[in-house]
Amino acid sequence: MTKWQLPAIALIGFLLVSPLHVVMAQSETQQTKGNILQLREGAPQEYVVKKGDTLWDISELYLNDPWYWPELWRINEGVANPHLIYPGDRLLLVWVDGKPQLTRKAHKTLLPEGQVKSKDNPIPTFSRDMLAPLLTEHRVLTAEVLENTPQILGDNRGAPRVNGMLPVFIKGDVEKTTYSAFTPVEPIEGGELLRYVGDVTVTYNAGELAEGELSRIQREIRRGDYLLASQPLNIPDVIVPESGGQLDGQIIASLNNRKEQGPYDVVVLNRGRQHGVEVGQMYQAVRPGSTLFVDGEEITLVNYYKPADHISRLWRNTLQLPVSATAQMLVLEVQNQTSFAIVVRSREWMSIGDYFIPLKL
């Protein structure tokens, strides 16, 4: 049993006693008051969008909880694609029927010929330059998929590690093209989390055995590493936040190789498409409350790692402290059984193994 599974018993017990909607209600953020969106103190009355801005950056200028930006972005319904905002656009803060709204005055540049210059790309929800190295260099694959994925055997010396100086040999079905090499970094439910380590260009294929040259080596390449087709960043430019689905689960891995996670870290959730997870959904990470012994002269903490406490809690009087929300996450990418989510707000560090519940917007 892993370290996080024992304390998780407390959370499971709390969820069994308290309905999920009660837990959600306790942890929801209070961004509205009387159905009126609450602005951040000092929010600018006017802002000119700059190249490099993101929707999230601008939302944080106006809102304490930037995931409510669709409520603020109620731009003229006659404008096509109101969520698309471009560098040079002027945003004006106005009040309509007593509610704050951002209106957009589109920026237009006339060319000498009198034609309107085409716009740059609209600003994304999050920086793609920030997310691309994380999302394109990590994959989650099930055990069934890995069974049929080509693997590196090593060089002709049979060494478990290769240095890139010699050709490598490959088993599996490959073509004469360039593949991305991925190494397993962490086993997860039903599969593996893989990380990019370099490229392999197949130069010779004899059927059961192929030969390849290494390039763009990022990390050590080892026997057993997998070859996968390269793929671009697979997330939409504009992600509109929405309430999480009626489900809960666990954070099972991270893409930053740290045990503790904070703002803008990307984590792996053990729920995916088959569970109803969708891009844009928001969830809250929660930490189980501690259990206290309250039947003695001194109130003491139940230590689940101490055998005597673990057993005696079955008959001693105890008090279960409530669950605490530690962070808010937004889903970026969904696979069949897992999802990648970015931490958009963190009250404290959260850990691998923490549970999550829906955030209601």
Longest dimension (CA), the chain: 87
More confident residue, 353 or 330: 330
Q: What is the pLDDT of residues 211-221, one digit of tens each?
A: 999 999 998 99
Give how many domains the chain has, as a whole number. Answer: 3
Using alpha carbons, list the distances in angstroms from residue 150 to 72, 107, 132, 330, 333: 49, 51, 24, 33, 25
Among the listed residues 104, 121, 148, 5, the one whose alpha carbon sits nearest the alpha carbon of residue 52: 121
| Judgement on whether residues 17 and 61 belong to the same structural domain of the protein | no
Does residue 326 contact residue 286 with C-beta atoms inside 8 Å?
Answer: yes
DSSP conformation letters of 63-103? -SSGGGHHHH----TTSSSTT---TT-EEEEEEETTEEEEE
| Judgement on whether residues 16 and 72 belong to the same structural domain of the protein | no
Predicted confidence band of residue 31 (pLDDT cuts 50, 70, 90): low
Confirm whether 213 is domain-assigned.
Answer: yes
| Judgement on whether residues 14 and 41 belong to the same structural domain of the protein | no
pLDDT of residue 19: 42
Residue 80 has pLDDT above 60, yes or no: no
Confirm whether 139 is domain-assigned.
Answer: yes
Kindly report the pTM of this predicted structure.
0.82
User: What does the block give as tokens for 267?
Assistant: 């984590």
| Judgement on whether residues 142 and 194 belong to the same structural domain of the protein | yes
Q: Domain range spanning residue 204?
A: 130-228
pLDDT of residue 26: 42
